[in-house]
Chains A and B, each alone.
Chain A
Amino acid sequence: MSLQDLGYALVQVAHNFGAVAIVGGAAFMLFMAPQPGSMQRKFAWLVGLGWGTQALSGMAFGAISYHYYGSFPDIHGIAIAALAVKMLCVASGLFLVALYLRYAGNWPDQRRHNAWLILFTLGAIALTSAAFLRWFS
């Protein structure tokens, strides 16, 4: 086992758990019984942490490649589009979580529900894009 493989694997672990947090956290708030405000806030932090982990681990993949080979992954076409979609989802997810943490205390239930629905959708889109990014280049 090389350090390079270990590095990629550890970053992948973080990336996977980030994905679980963003989709699982939003799905729980969306589909399970309504939770009290304090619990919703904890889950918003969890989902936000997940989006942050996705961003940092995504950059770490590129950093490891650059460290060992002096270049970033060589991707084109569909893979570039998939990466752009993922980055857009990350930025949107982080922004929405920040809004939620700042203002959701005054939001009606329907608006909170919509926020979780959007967060869940962004997570699902990001996961779908990840598959295209992995298998196209």
Chain B
Amino acid sequence: MRALGSLTVIFAFCCYVPLAIAAEDSVTITSPADGAMLNMAEQARIDYEVTRGPNGDHTHLYVDGKEKKVLRQLKGSHKLDPLEPGKHEICIKLVNKGHTPIGVQQCINVSVK
């Protein structure tokens, strides 16, 4: 009976600890900064870092609301297609294995001249 109790405690501990130390889902666009001014002559590049928590799997990159690329690396850099002059919104959304956005995202606004 005591062995059963010990096993129960060990099982509960094993189930609990991964949840307790699991990282939270997060997305960070490290470059360019929000509000940055980009030069149309230079190909823009976006740098990002992703932390996968319990629900996130990979990310989708959007420019002005249109999906441009599936990003599967947790940390990386992606060259953007040439942007027209003016203001643009760039977003990276964390999605689950079924490509559903889980509500974790970062968006920045840039201006291209």
**Given contacts A74-B67, A76-B67, A137-B70, is CB(A69)–CB(B101) below 8 Å?**
yes
B53 to chain A, nearest CB (A): 12
Q: Which chain A residues lie closer than 8 Å to B101 at the CB level?
A: 69, 71, 74
Chain B residues in the interface with A (C-beta under 8 A): 54-55, 60, 66-67, 70, 93, 95-103
A75–B93 Cα distance when bound, in Å, is 13
Q: Which chain A residues lie closer than 8 Å to B102 at the CB level?
A: 69
Question: Chain A, interface size: which category?
Answer: 10 to 19
- Contact among A2, A8, A68, A137 for B99, CB-based, below 8 A: A137
A70 to chain B, nearest CB (A): 8
**Given contacts A74-B60, A137-B60, is CB(A69)–CB(B100) below 8 Å?**
yes
Q: Which chain B residues lie closer than 8 Å to A34 at the CB level?
A: none
Q: Dominant SS at the B interface?
A: strand
**Given contacts A69-B101, A137-B60, A137-B70, is CB(A74)–CB(B55) below 8 Å?**
no
Chain A residues in the interface with B (C-beta under 8 A): 2, 4, 8, 61, 65, 68-69, 71-77, 79, 136-137
- Contact between A69 and B67 (Cβ–Cβ < 8 Å)? no
- Contact between B97 and A75 (Cβ–Cβ < 8 Å)? no
A71–B60 Cα distance when bound, in Å, is 15
Q: Which chain A residues lie closer than 8 Å to B96 at the CB level?
A: 65, 69
- Contact between B100 and A74 (Cβ–Cβ < 8 Å)? yes
Q: 5 A-B contacts, Cβ less than 8 Å apart?
A: A71-B101, A79-B99, A136-B70, A137-B70, A137-B99
Q: Which chain B residues lie closer than 8 Å to A68 at the CB level?
A: 100
- Contact between A74 and B95 (Cβ–Cβ < 8 Å)? yes
Among A74, A77, A136, the one with the most B-chain Cβ atoms within 10 Å of its Cβ is A74
- Contact between B55 and A72 (Cβ–Cβ < 8 Å)? no
- Contact between A73 and B99 (Cβ–Cβ < 8 Å)? yes
- Contact between A74 and B54 (Cβ–Cβ < 8 Å)? no
A134–B64 Cα distance when bound, in Å, is 24
A73–B100 Cα distance when bound, in Å, is 4
Q: Which chain A residues lie closer than 8 Å to B103 at the CB level?
A: 69
- Contact between B67 and A137 (Cβ–Cβ < 8 Å)? yes
A69-B100, A73-B99, A137-B95 given; name 15 further pairs at CB < 8 Å: A2-B54, A8-B97, A69-B96, A69-B101, A69-B102, A71-B100, A72-B100, A73-B95, A74-B67, A74-B101, A75-B99, A76-B66, A77-B67, A136-B70, A137-B70
